[in-house]
Every structure is written in C-alpha cells, then in structure tokens.
Amino acid sequence: MIGDLGARDATAVAELVAAREVTAEELLDAALAAVEARNPAINAVVLMQEEVARRAIAAGLPDGPFKGVPFLLKDLGCEAVDFPSHNGSRLLANTRYDRDSSIYARIRATGVVTFGRTTSPEGGIGAATEAAVYGGPTRNPWNTDHTSGGSSGGAGAAVAAGIVAMAHGSDGGGSVRIPAASCGLFGFKPTRARLPDGPYVGEGWAGMAIDGFLTRSVRDTAVMLDACAGPDLGAPYMAPALTRSHADAISRPPRRLRVMICDTTFTGAAIHPEVKAAMHQAGRLLESLGHHVEPGRPNADVPMMMRAWTDIVGVGTALSVRKALRGRDPAALVEGVSRGAMAHAETLHPTRYLEAVGEIHAFGRQMAAVFEGGPDVILSACLAEPPAKVGRFAHDTEDYLGYRIGPGGIFEYSPFCAVFNASGQPAASLPLGWSSDDLPVGVHLAMRFGADEELIALCAELERAAPWAAIRAPLAGGSRH
C-alpha cells in the first residue's frame, strides 16, 4: 500500500478516502511507515506529532478537498498551536505558539492530516537545507549526494521520497521553486499577497516572501491555492482578484501566448548546457502547442535588485536573531551565515533598509514594463545548473555577501527565482528536464502581476502534454526510465 499510495497525487488519495477504499488512519500509518523507512536517508521529516494527527482524525476531519490526506508543514513559519517549531535554528528550537496562523487554519480546513514538519535552513536564506539543529543535511531522494534545495528542502525531499503526496513550503527567493526543480516536483509562487501572512507577521521580507506548496501535480497546487487564497484580517495589502479559480483555470488551456525564452541568466551569463537544453526542449513543446516563442532577455536592473534583496534579508535576519538571543552569545546558537548577515546589517546606514525597499519596488516596475506590450510569459531555467552537491552551500561561512552574491554563490546558482519575489509576479518551476546523471532540472515560467490563473493554466497544459506523474525518485521506488 505504501508504494501504491506514493504513486498518487493528493487529489487521487483523497478520492480513495471519499470512496472508502482507504481510511485516514490507514493513510497516516502508511505515511509514518514511510518516514521510518525512508527518512533516515534524507533527513527531511522532523518534530513528528503522531498523537496530534490521531486526535484530529478521531475528532472528525473537515470535509475539505483533501480529507484524510497526510500532510507536513515546513519548519519555518506556518505557526500552529499543535506543532512546535525549530524554525531551522538551534536558537529557536522548540518554539511554541499561542494561536494558529491564518495559513495553517486554511490548510487544516482542507481536511489534511498534519503529523509533523519538514526541515529548513536557518532563517530560510539558503538554496540548500543543512541546518545544524537537525543533526545533518537534508538530501535529495534522486541522489543523496545532492541537495534537495532550500529553503523548503525538507518539503521537497519528503514529497519526492513518497512520504507524503504534497507538503507546505514558502518562497522568499525561490524557496518553493528551488526544491521543486531539485526534486522533480511542481512548485508555484503566487502573486504577492495572494496568501495570508498573519497574524504573526504583516509581510515577509518586505513582501517578497509568500507561502506555497510542493506537489506532484498541478491540480493539487491549484486546489490548495483556492482553499488558502485571500487576505487575512488586517492584511496591509492584497493581490488583485482572480477572474476565476485556480481549479477552474486548469480545466481548459489558456489562450495562445507570446513567450520570451531566455537561455542565459537575466544578466547574460551562460548556464549549464544540460539545463539550457532542457529549457529549449520546453520552448519547442510550447511551440508545438501553438504558443509563439521568441528569444529575449528582460530589461531590468537585476544586480541592483539582488543587492537590495540581500540587504533586506540581512536586516531581517539580524532583527529576528537579536530578538531571540536576549543577550546570549550567538556563537553557540546561531550558524555562520546568519552571524554574517547580522554583521552585514550592522554595516548598513540606518536609512539603507528603506532605500533597499524602494529599489525593490522600482525593480517591480521595471519587470512590469517587460510584460507591458511585450511577452505574456518568460521562460527560463529555474536553476543555472543541476542540483548541487551536499555541502556546497553549507551555512558555516560568515561571509554572508559572498555566500549570497559572490562568485560561486547562491545567486549564480539560482539567478532566476528571486527576480519574481522582488517583482511580486507569479512564477512556477515544472519538472520537464533531466541531467545526464538522472537529476531533475526545473523549467521556470513567469507572468505579469496578478495573472496566477493564466500561469497555472499554462502549467496544466504542459503537464498534459508532457506528463511527469509516473516519474519517481529511486528512494520512492521509481526511476526516470
């Protein structure tokens, strides 16, 4: 049963529950058995709360679209009374909450059976998940020598390993899309403010961070987004209203679209040839579906944006760490990159934060202009190369700037994702490519601000044209062949 259920998406699993072919208890048992069998190899699932899950089943699950489906929360954000969190940090280990976040309340209402959390790097600032609080790195189910990505690396690994069919994540610089690309999954970043942030925060990283989900199918993401979308009480701003639901949008193909294909980084640097080949293959697939594909590159100041992103995240990291330290020595409780972020924040002029936010907003206007009278879609790679080896982006260095934007740093590795966190525009990674050594390669699509339903419709059309559901990681009992 474990292997069979691992081959289904969450929608199909929920259909089994509705048809009484399997019970929520049996599914939870299967997920727990999968954790026991597979998690030691990947170190993705933590802080398990089996009794909380069993009490929820016994009390009666909400009659939502995913009733009975096992589920995991990212160990960063998504605050919930019944699910303490380390937040990826020894400093914040075993944090408890006195009320549920809005996003968790909406997730719970779908009927999922949440039984634990998934690993995240400290502060969520890495493209790999290797936090010391978990005792070791999180590894990729396709090849455990490689990273599953970050910062939702545990979520990506757990779904790719067949432990759960979908999991919660969040994305402040690619943190849903990078694990999706690394683990052969679908990852969608909605338009800024499409999902709620409260009540614990008003916005994440000056509005650049948003929740999301790691899934094996576009329909799972669409239905979960519909269940969770909309502002919460007191939200400082909200996304433009959808013209139709995500689930309705994927029921039929979008209009024929103008696609800008960029086979370099957005600053013109070369990308790995196997990643480039996968992206061009996706371009040919779009052409075969009747879309118009032309080469191009967005005209926007990406280096300015990335420095502003780096300063904003550095200040945010310093704020959260200093608030939690309460006078204690950070050396024993905080990892190197976070200490480096704190030191970097101290070098900034007090006005720099607002200046950086202004630069991010200016960049958003530049990216909005790219779509004004130009392409409907930007097609690129998600990462500039296949998934990195474990240890390459370890958090022991205190050179925060070098780690993020220096030579060989995270921005060179992941030069596409953060662009759309800064612009607030919707973007997605689709598992449409593979390296020569059978590692997943994500293909990245982005559209204008607010066009979530059109983007997810395009993703669903590509999924129908090039199905990936049968392709599963070796740790989940599958292969690409």
Catalytic residues: 74, 151, 175
DSSP letter at 110 equals T
Interior angle at CA 213, CA 209 and CA 219, nearest 5: 130
**Residues comprising the chain, all counted:** 481
Q: How far apart are CA 74 and CA 97, in angstroms?
A: 15
Alpha-carbon dihedral angle through residues 83, 89, 94, 98, given to the nearest 10 degrees: -60
Q: Which residue has the tokens 């118009």?
A: 292
What the block records as the tokens of 283 is 């371009």
Comparing CA positions, the residue from 423, 435, 429 lying closest to residue 302 is 423
Q: Is 237 helix (H, G, I), strand (E, B) or coil?
A: coil
SS3 content of the chain, % helix, strand, coil (to 5): 40, 15, 45
Q: How far apart are CA 180 and CA 217, in angstroms?
A: 11
Pairing mode, strands 292-295 and 427-434: unpaired
Task: Give the number of other CB atoms < 10 A from CB of residue 416.
Answer: 27
Q: How far apart are CA 400 and CA 412, in angstroms?
A: 14
Q: How far apart are CA 190 and CA 393, in angstroms?
A: 26
Sheet holding 427-434, edge to edge: 166-171, 210-215, 186-189, 427-434, 440-446, 377-381, 258-261, 292-295
What the block records as the tokens of 480 is 């690409």
Q: How far apart are CA 228 and CA 270, in angstroms?
A: 38
Instruction: Please name the amino acid found at residue 44.
Output: A
